[in-house]
Structure 1
Amino acid sequence: MIKTDILVIGGSAGGILTATTAKKVYADKKVVLVRKNKTVMVPCGIPYIFGTLKDTSKNRIPDAMLINAGVELLVDEIIKIDKENKIAILAENEEIAYDKLIIATGSLPIIPKFINGYDLNNVFAILKDEEYLNDILNKLVNMKDIVVIGGGFIGVEFAEQLKKDGKNVTIVEVAEKCLWQAFDNEICDIAEQEMKDNNIDVKSGIRVKSILGNDKVEEVELENGEKIKADAVILGMGVVPNSSIAKEVGIMVNEKGAIVVDEYMRTSEKDIFAVGDCAEKRCFFTNKNIPILLASTAAMEAKVAASNLYGLRYVRENKGIISAFSTKVFNKSFAAAGFTERRAKEEGFEVIIGKSTTMDKHPGSLPETSKLDLTLIFVKTSGVLIGAQISGGESVGEMINILSLAIQKGLTANELNTFQVATHPLLTASPVSYPINAAALDALINIK
């Protein structure tokens, strides 16, 4: 029998950071991480295997992160947990005795069994498995016409990368707009136009009726009767928590199958924690259960859990999910944090909007300068920031992180209006029109 102090099940972002943080915080404890796959993929990098990288090996998370931190890695599968005796049983019946257990088993792609033909050959769900992804990569080499079902981040990024690889790409989204969960219509329209300008056929506001073919996919039929030629279909319809091992041991899960956790990532069972996509997410503003499954969220949860395995050593609880996103579609970058205006109003907030349009370098005649559009969403009565959306150049990726922190700390329009910034012609927008300050001022004027 293997004995350890801390056992982590799952080797992606949440599991890795839980294990390495636990080893740093509790240096005298033995930490073992068990994962099923020989290699680990960078989750958010998977779409780029199919265009920019063209090689699954270039998208690996190196095991050196674990080894150098003093974490013991075991490539195997835990099939059962004996919670009373604190023993995890491996596939070959070997046992691991633990003191603290962290479940970080991630998520699984949604398989649309309600669509006829979902199980035809060359209909690909996206699993975080290098051998599986490499098989898809090899099969797509000789394919030309690809249909992507789902217009969220996964679907949009796959569509962009496959187009860059020279494919004929159609993206189908049942909602009114692609990326609608993260952005309001104005920025969704910019993203869709960027795809259309680069010859992706965007079909939003319509449902897939059937996937057609004999043995393998040949066409995708929409609910309006239109048929789209397809050599392959990519399923980008989102993911669901992979919580089966928790359910089997009697750990509480919610109605969506996510493991119920408290603000310190503790489950309903003593000495068992859960982090990442398999764990329940609560909205920062409403405390409602929300399906926001991100590697960056898993990283935050991992640090909270690992730091507090042996009592509340660091009182930094998980206060809820801000929902911070960023992506790049061809030459445009997009980022969001907090509520959209649409969602804020649905939740009953009366809001004031502040907007700013500027160039991300100054003067705007500098090379590689991009137009930057920023929208800030404030509560009308208090002026507190509850949402932000940006489109522009690559600088938006870090700007949204500033705004995510501002949301987390409850900063107001007045505070952001006088927010002190470092600026440089080659790196940032002008100090006289820095977008965060300018959008905050615009909101203050609108409040008055």
Structure 2
Amino acid sequence: MEHFDVIVVGGGPAGFNAVKAVRSLYPEKRVLVLNDREDLQIPCSIPYVVAGLLKPEDNRYPVKKLAELGATLLFERVVSVNPQESRIFTESGKLYSYDRLVLATGWLPRRLPVEGTDLEGVYYIDNSTEAVINLVKEVASAKRIAIVGGGFISIGFADLISRFLKKEITVIEASHRIGSGVFSGDFESEMTSLLESAGVRVLKGAKVTTLEGSGRVEAVLLEGGERIEADLVLIFIGFLPNSKLAVDASLKVDRGFVVVDRFLRSSVDNILAAGNVALHYSAVDGAPWPGMVASVSARDGRIAGANTAGPVVEDRGIVPAGVTEVGGRFFGFAGYTQELLSGKGFDFKKCGVTSADAYPKAIGAKPLKLDLYFLKGSGRLVGAEVEASSRYVAPLVDLVAGLVERGITAYELLSKVSVAFPPVTPPPLLQPLQEAALAFLRS
């Protein structure tokens, strides 16, 4: 039996960064990383591959670079963990022991519980290169595509396929809002309008009851009887934590997620969990939050890797955040927005401002819309939504997420200095964060 100082199960963003952190901070440690598949795609950019904007060979996930970091890399499935003896067992019958184990086992697609999902032409998200290449061929030959689910992944597929491949697409969302429910009414309505202007039919409050077909899918049947013809169905209704190893090892779990402390240690002290498999908590109010996005997984990996030699980096909670693109416009959010704040009973105020993504107007500046959410009384910043046609949206979302994590108030936001440069930032006389803070204080 071979022994390693650190064993990492899973080579996704959490596992990758855990290895990188261990090898950077503790180069003397022997590290083994096991991943069950070898040829993978970067998940977030699969819609660009399917739409023909990226070749599959240019979108390969760099899992093999783990060996370049100095880790021993094996493409093998781990079938069980023995916490009492600090050992793992692989599918081929190999046995390895460890001082520290990092579980970064990722996600599984949430399954649609209706008849017909086993028909040909029905796909869940799968980031294997083979599956993506097959999906590219399927989309290219399809005439009518139904996408079940209206979250970020569905929006990305619908937007890009409709714009660049001109397919007939129907998005079917069970709730009354697309975008995973994180955008307020005006932002969500704008996203819907942009999709519809590209020819996408968007159905909200629509529940799938059956997928029909003889061998291959032919239609999606909705509650109420509507029948939507489709020769390809993409089901993107969320993810579940891939926590079977943890459950079988009797680690403490909550709703399928591995429960961890603020140093990402599980209920067994020398086993850490990171990424999609771990239970996260919101930095806004401390409530449990799934955090099943690559950015959180990448952060978790760094924390877990650093903490394999002892608790040195603390998880301060996550700020929910994300960016998507519809019709060439970018929509982003950070923290808690209107629907969630209302549902949680917060007393808040939304303050909006329209600025520009550059200056002066003659240089080609385009509108930038920002809404900030402040708690009444304390003035604490707890969330934001932003829309613009420039890539300035992503760094602005990152900035706001950092400010929300710090618990900054509207008064403190007024004193913040923001860099200004004509082609790439809002004008110094109309800086959106500070203007929204001023609007809150004025009210």
For the superposition of Structure 1 and Structure 2, which TM-score range results when normalised by the shorter chain? over 0.9
Bigger CA drift: 7-16 or 180-189?
A: 180-189
2:362 aligns with 365
For residues 388-425 of structure 1, the C-alpha deviation after alignment (integer angstroms, 9 at most, x for no partner) is 11011221111111101100111111121232111111
Q: Which residue is 2:9 aligned to?
A: 9
Give the match for residue 303 of structure 2. 304
Where does residue 375 of structure 1 map in the other structure?
A: 371
- Indicate the residue corresponding to 2:416 in structure 1: 419
CA contact (8 A) 1:374 1:388 kept: yes
Structure 1 gaps of 5+ residues are none
CA–CA distance in structure 2, aligned partners of residues 366 and 227 of structure 1: 49
What corresponds to 2:124 in structure 1? 125
Larger proportion of strand: 2
The equivalent residue for 2:349 is 352
Q: TM-score, normalised by structure 1?
A: 0.95
- 1:282 aligned residue: 281
- Give the secondary structure class of the aligned counterpart of 1:116: coil
- Which residue type is aligned with residue 304 of structure 1? I
Query: For the residues of structure 2 that align with 1:292 and 1:150, how far apart are their CA atoms?
Result: 18
Within 2, Cα distance between the matches of 1:229 and 1:4? 54
Instruction: Tell me the distance in 2 between the aligned counterparts of 1:62 and 1:439.
Output: 41
Q: Which shifted more, 127-136 or 103-112?
A: 127-136
Paired residue for 1:198? 198
Matched residues in 2 for 1:370 and 1:220: separation? 40
Q: The residue matched to 1:292 in structure 2 has which SS?
A: coil
Match of 2:336 in 1: 339
Read off the aligned partner of 1:416 and give its amino acid letter: L
Task: Name the residue aligned to 1:83.
Answer: 83
Distance, in Å, in 2 between the alignment partners of 1:282 and 1:143 is: 41
Q: CA deviation at 1:210?
A: 1.8
Say if 2:396 is the partner of 1:396.
Answer: no
2:426 pairs with 1:408: no
CA contact (8 A) 1:108 1:127 kept: no
How far 1:213 sits from its partner (Å)?
1.0
Unpaired runs of 5+ in structure 2?
none
Q: Deviations over 1:319-366 (max 9, x none)?
A: 222101111112110111100122112222211221110221112232
Find the aligned partners of 1:182 and 1:297 in 2 and give their Cα distance. 17
SS in 2 for 1:4: strand
Contact 1:11 1:40 in 2 (8 A): no
Pick one of 323, 327, 343 that aligns with 2:324: 327
Q: Out of 382, 388, 394, which is 1:386 matched to?
A: 382
Structure 1 residue 54, shift from structure 2 partner: 4.9
Where do 1:129-144 residues align within 5 Å?
129-144=128-143
Distance 2:120 2:95 in 1: 38
SS in 1 for 2:333: strand
Q: Is the 8 A contact 2:16 2:63 kept in 1?
A: no
Q: Deviations over 1:260-300 (max 9, x none)?
A: 11111111112101001111121222322222311111111
Q: Which amino acid aligns with 2:405?
A: Q
Structure 2 distance, partners of 1:306, 1:300, is: 10
In the aligned structure 1, how far is the partner of 2:88 from the partner of 2:133?
Answer: 31
Q: Distance in 1 between matches of 2:181 and 2:64?
A: 36
Please tell me whether the aligned partners of residues 33 and 73 of structure 1 are also in contact (alpha carbons under 8 angstroms).
yes
Alpha-carbon distance in structure 2 between the residues aligned to 1:415 and 1:349 = 21
Contact conserved, 2:6 with 2:100, CA < 8 A, in 1? Answer: yes
- Is it true that 1:436 corresponds to 2:441 in the alignment? no
Amino acid at match of 2:398: N
SS in 2 for 1:301: helix
Rounded to whole Å, the distance in 2 between the matches of 1:240 and 1:224 is 28
Aligned-pair distance for 1:257? Answer: 0.6
Q: Counterpart of 1:23 in structure 2: which amino acid?
A: R
Offset of residue 180 of structure 1: 4.4
* Aligned equivalents of 2:159, 2:424: Cα separation in 1: 26
Relative to structure 1, the CA distance from residue 260 to residue 370 in structure 2 (aligned partners, 3 Å threshold; closer, same or farther) is same
Partners of 1:5 and 1:30 within 8 A in 2:
yes
User: Does the CA-based 8 Å contact 1:180-1:188 persist in structure 2?
Assistant: no
Deviation at 1:190, TM superposition (A): 1.1
Q: 1:391 to 1:227 in 2, by over 3 A?
A: same
How far apart, in 1, do the equivalents of 2:187 and 2:240 lie? 26
Say whether the 8 Å CA contact 2:319–2:335 is kept in structure 1: yes
Q: Deviations over 1:134-193 (max 9, x none)?
A: 222223321111000000101111111221222111111111110142211121111111
Question: What is the SS of the residue equivalent to 1:172?
Answer: strand
Amino acid at match of 2:196: K
Give the letter aligned to residue 407 of structure 2: G
After superposition, give the CA deviation of every residue in 1:370-403 in whole Å (9 maximum; x if it has no partner): 3211000011111110001101122111111110
Most deviating of 318-327 and 132-141: 132-141
Aligned-residue Cα RMSD (Å) equals 1.5
State the Cα distance separating 1:232 from its structure 2 match: 0.5
Q: Percent identity?
A: 29
Conserved 8 A contact 1:120-1:215? yes
Deviation, structure 1 residue 112: 0.8
Residue 129 of structure 1 aligns to which amino acid in structure 2? S
Q: Residues 211-266 of structure 1, C-alpha deviation per residue, up to 9 Å, x if partnerless?
A: 11111111112223222110100001000000001111111111x21111111111
Shift of 1:445: 1.1
Please, which moves more after superposition, 174-183 or 394-403? 174-183
- Aligned residue for 1:140, secondary structure, equals helix
